[in-house]
C-alpha cells in the first residue's frame, strides 16, 4: 500500500472497489488467495467523498478480517452494494463483529487488537459494518447516506 494515491475527493464507488481490490491483491501476492473485483454497474454512477485516513483504515480492516475469517476456499470477491463495499469469502458472524468492537450507549468496548481498533475507528466515522448472511458469507462496509465518509 506504499504507492496508494491520495484520496481526499469524490470518487465513484466502483473505482474505490477496484483500487481496494488491487491493493489487497498486492498485499496477499503469493498467498494463494484468488481476488475478484466485481463492482456492480450502478456503482460507476455513485460517488462518495472519502478521506485518505478512512481509506487506509478500511484497507487495514479488510486485510485483518481476511486474515482472521477467511474460508477454506481461497476465493475472495470485492464488490459493491448500494453505498458500500462487500467482501465475500469470509466466515464471520454478528457475534464475531460484536467481540471485536461493541457500541452500547455511546460507549465502545474494543477488543485489544489492531482489528478491533480499526473496526471501532470506522464505526466512529459512521461506516456501518455488518456480516453478509447466506451461503457466500462475508462482510459489508456501508458508507453514510450523505454520500461522504470522514468529511
Q: Are 118 and 108 in contact (CB under 8 A)?
A: no
Residues 57-72 have a mean pLDDT of 92
pTM of the model: 0.86
Q: CA-to-CA distance for 135 and 126, rounded, in angstroms?
A: 27
Q: Give 3 or 56, the one with higher predicted confidence.
A: 56
Confidence band, pLDDT 50/70/90 cuts, at residue 145: low
The predicted pLDDT at position 150 comes to 47
Per-residue CA distances from 126 to 23, 40, 67, 99 (Å): 23, 23, 24, 19
Helix spans in 28-51 (H): none
Query: With DSSP H G I counted as helix, E B as strand and the rest as coil, what are the percentages for the chain, rounded to 5?
Result: 35, 30, 30
**Coil, strand or helix at 122:** helix
Q: CA-to-CA distance for 4 and 83, rounded, in angstroms?
A: 22
Strand ranges in 39-99 using DSSP code E only, listed in sequence order: 47-50, 75-81, 84-88
The predicted pLDDT at position 85 comes to 95
Q: What is the pLDDT of residues 77-135, one digit of tens each?
A: 999 988 899 999 998 887 888 889 888 888 888 888 899 999 999 999 999 998 887 66
Spell out the long-range contacts of 43-46 with Cβ–Cβ below 8 A and sequence spacing 24 or more: 43/12, 43/13, 43/14, 43/17, 43/80, 44/12, 44/13, 44/14, 45/12, 46/12, 46/13, 46/14, 46/80, 46/82, 46/83, 46/147
Amino acid at each position: 500500500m506504499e504507492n496508494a494515491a491520495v484520496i481526499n475527493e469524490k470518487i465513484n464507488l466502483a473505482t474505490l472497489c477496484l483500487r481496494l481490490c488491487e491493493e489487497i491483491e498486492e498485499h496477499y501476492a503469493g498467498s494463494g488467495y484468488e481476488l475478484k473485483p466485481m463492482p456492480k454497474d450502478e456503482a460507476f454512477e455513485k460517488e462518495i467523498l472519502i478521506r485518505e485516513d478512512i481509506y487506509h483504515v478500511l484497507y487495514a480492516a479488510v486485510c485483518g478480517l481476511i486474515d482472521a475469517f477467511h474460508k477454506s476456499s481461497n476465493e475472495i470477491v470485492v464488490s459493491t452494494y448500494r453505498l458500500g463495499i462487500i467482501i465475500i469469502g469470509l466466515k464471520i458472524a454478528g457475534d464475531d463483529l460484536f467481540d471485536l468492537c461493541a457500541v452500547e450507549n455511546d460507549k465502545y468496548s474494543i477488543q485489544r487488537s489492531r482489528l478491533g481498533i480499526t473496526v471501532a475507528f470506522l464505526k466512529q466515522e459512521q461506516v456501518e459494518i455488518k456480516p453478509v448472511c447466506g451461503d457466500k458469507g462475508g462482510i459489508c462496509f456501508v458508507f453514510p447516506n450523505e454520500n461522504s465518509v470522514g468529511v
